[in-house]
């Protein structure tokens, strides 16, 4: 297998579009809620990260599922890819029901102890009451995406991504402003758009895929499910603690004040577009590494990672420079508050420049995941999270500068990348 820059990009682009679904939903929410008020804008950040933390349990499982499917694809055991997909779909559907129930019961109890502002807390709960049901649609979607990425047939993800965006934008406007539902309307629109994207992708798989070749028949296989769970359990915890630390970051910012929280949400919302590039290239790397190992081409792992990183720099850096130059008009899309603009400008630059370190960090980490050794990835993540939280706690004791807080992200991705590179260069395949 020879993955050129062109072939990597053609595989990656639909993956990037599918990851963009979740992020564009959050970005659209932030844009509309920024014109409702600073409380709603800040609350959508905390609520969105809380939801994302729960969502990452499913996303982490889907990464392990993708690794197993890609390995079978690389071995040319095509019927096994479909069998593996169905075990993942069953697990993720059950997990969605379980997490929705747990969140409805425990989220209010936990969040009231963490959020200082009563107004922000009330808005967060209003959002989560509706948003959490999106798991019922996003988790099956993750199973479908893992299957398509694993077999490197990713074009259908473009249609699903476009559907979600086209549904979410008008629904946000109607529910937030026309029906005056405020932050709850944003949550309803987001969950509904996820349902629509799931329908589009399901129709494609059912009508366009060769069921016989890929073994796409409903069946339960305890052995395959056990194997997928054994691979995925560590990537679940890995993704969960990664975003949980991000939630801790936002809680720390919330204690600085409501304006600082709102400004941070705008920074996160805009910078997320660039980290969609990072995350999609990283996810693609994991799948391609697994395919390489299935084909017995272990010596191509590091060269593949380096090729992906160079491609990511070529795509991302021109857009980052343009965004820094155009910060004022970008910020005004979210809010016309001059105080927020002044607070956000320098931290925005700090956040975007972290792309230079985040890209190799996540690419190398997902290459480790692609080897199937998800336990090692979890250990690297755990060590990195501990260092990150210690750093965050330390700076919270002597600084109230948003720019300084954002430097914690540099520590996180650099340490993660260094540990992953050391592992890949010393691993005996």
Q: Give domain limits for the chain.
A: 5-426
Which positions ≥6 away from 108 have C-beta within 8 Å?
125
CB 363 within 8 A of CB 307: no
Would you tell me how many other CB atoms lie within 10 Å of the CB of residue 99? 18
How much is the pLDDT for 295? 82
DSSP at 179: S
How much is the pLDDT for 90? 96
How much is the pLDDT for 257? 79
How much is the pLDDT for 85? 95
How much is the pLDDT for 265? 79
Which positions ≥6 away from 118 have C-beta within 8 Å?
none
Nearest to 333 by CA among 35, 102, 65: 35
Rounded CA separation 271/329 (Å):
15
How much is the pLDDT for 22? 66
Sign of the Cα torsion 323, 324, 330, 334 reads positive
Sign of the Cα torsion 103, 109, 110, 114 reads positive
First to last CA, the chain: 17
Would you tell me how many other CB atoms lie within 10 Å of the CB of residue 65? 29
Rounded CA separation 366/184 (Å):
35
How much is the pLDDT for 108? 96
CB 424 within 8 A of CB 305: yes
Q: Can you read off the two tokens belonging to residue 349?
A: 């630059």
Local structure of 256: helix, strand or coil: coil
Q: Phi and psi dihedrals of 399, rounded to 5?
A: -140, 145
Which positions ≥6 away from 117 have C-beta within 8 Å?
39, 254, 258
The low-confidence residues of the chain, meaning pLDDT below 50, are none
Local structure of 90: helix, strand or coil: helix
How much is the pLDDT for 310? 97
Rounded CA separation 406/409 (Å):
6
The alpha carbons of the chain give a radius of gyration, in whole angstroms, of 21
């Amino acid at each position: 297998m020879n993955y050129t820059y062109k072939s990597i990009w053609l595989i990656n682009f639909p993956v990037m579009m599918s990851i963009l679904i979740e992020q564009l939903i959050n970005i659209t929410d932030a844009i509309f809620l920024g014109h409702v008020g600073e409380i709603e804008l800040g609350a959508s950040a905390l609520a969105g990260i809380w939801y994302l933390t729960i969502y990452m349990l499913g996303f982490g499982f889907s990464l392990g599922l993708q690794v197993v499917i890609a390995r079978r694809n690389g071995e040319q055991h095509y019927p096994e890819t479909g069998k593996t997909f169905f075990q993942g779909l069953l697990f993720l559907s059950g997990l969605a029901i379980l997490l929705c129930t747990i969140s409805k019961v425990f989220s209010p109890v936990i969040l009231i102890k963490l959020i200082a502002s009563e107004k922000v807390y009330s808005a967060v709960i209003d959002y989560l009451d509706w948003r959490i049901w999106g798991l019922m649609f996003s988790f099956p979607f993750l199973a479908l995406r893992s299957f398509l990425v694993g077999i490197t047939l990713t074009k259908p993800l473009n249609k699903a991504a476009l559907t979600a965006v086209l549904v979410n934008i008008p629904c946000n406007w109607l529910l937030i402003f026309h029906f005056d539902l405020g932050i709850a309307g944003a949550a309803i629109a987001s969950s509904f758009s996820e349902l629509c994207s799931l329908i589009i992708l399901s129709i494609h798989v059912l009508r366009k895929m060769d069921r016989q070749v890929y073994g796409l028949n409903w069946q339960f296989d305890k052995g395959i499910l056990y194997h997928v769970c054994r691979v995925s359990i560590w990537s679940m915890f890995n993704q969960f603690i990664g975003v949980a630390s991000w939630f801790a970051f936002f809680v720390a910012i919330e204690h600085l004040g409501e304006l600082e929280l709102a400004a941070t949400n705008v920074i996160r919302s805009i910078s997320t577009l660039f980290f969609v590039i990072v995350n999609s290239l990283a996810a693609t790397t994991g799948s391609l590494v697994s395919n390489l190992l299935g084909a017995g081409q272990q010596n191509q792992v590091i060269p593949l990672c380096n090729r992906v990183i160079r491609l990511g720099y070529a795509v991302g850096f021109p857009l980052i420079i343009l965004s820094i130059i155009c910060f004022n008009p970008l910020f005004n899309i979210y809010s016309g508050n001059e105080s927020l603009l002044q607070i956000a400008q320098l931290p925005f630059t700090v956040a975007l420049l972290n792309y230079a370190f985040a890209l190799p960090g996540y690419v190398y980490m997902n290459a480790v995941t692609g080897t199937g050794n998800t336990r090692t990835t979890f250990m690297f993540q755990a060590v990195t999270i501990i260092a990150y939280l210690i750093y965050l706690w330390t700076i919270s004791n002597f600084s109230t500068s948003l720019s300084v807080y954002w430097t914690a992200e540099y520590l996180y991705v650099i340490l993660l990348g260094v540990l992953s590179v050391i592992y890949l260069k010393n691993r005996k395949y």
